[in-house]
Amino acid sequence: AGRSQGKMAAGGAADAQARFGHSVKGLLTEKVTSCGTDVIALTKQVLKGSRSAELLGQAARNMVMQEDAILHSEDSLRKMAIITTHLQYQQEAIQKNVEQSSNLQDQLSHLLK
């Protein structure tokens, strides 16, 4: 009777050890899967972050280009204002010449009568 109890105790211990090993394997598998999922999530976040930095850089370059275009437009508007002023002076001078020429025509026609 003592031997069969010893065999059963040894069998029970082996069974408990097998269950424990199986349980540890299950926990390890679960942890490995969890770590894998975390690594994938981290990788996605890093890629997203690098894409964000790339997009921010592109936006900054676009802003600099827009700023240059605005400065160039301002410069062109200043030049156009100066040209407009010169054209107004020329128009006034032409108008005076037309008035003087009509006065001269009147004088000539008066002299030729």
How far apart (Å, rounded) are the C-alpha atoms in residues 34 and 95?
89
Q: Model-level pTM greater than 0.85?
A: no
List strand residue ranges (DSSP E) for 1-113, in order: none
What pLDDT is recorded for position 80? Answer: 97
Buried b (16+ CB within 10 A) or exposed e, 68-87: eeeeeeeeeeeeeeeeeeee
What's the distance, CA 49 to chain centroid? 12
Overall residue count recorded for the chain in this entry? 113
| pLDDT tens digit at each of 113 positions of the chain | 555 555 555 566 777 777 777 787 888 888 889 989 999 999 888 888 778 888 888 999 999 999 999 999 999 999 999 999 999 999 999 999 999 988 888 888 888 87
Q: What pLDDT is recorded for position 19?
A: 76
Separation CA 43–CA 20 (nearest Å): 34
Give the per-residue pLDDT at 81.
Answer: 97
pLDDT of residue 10: 59
Q: What is the rounded CA–CA span in Å between residue 53 and residue 56?
A: 5
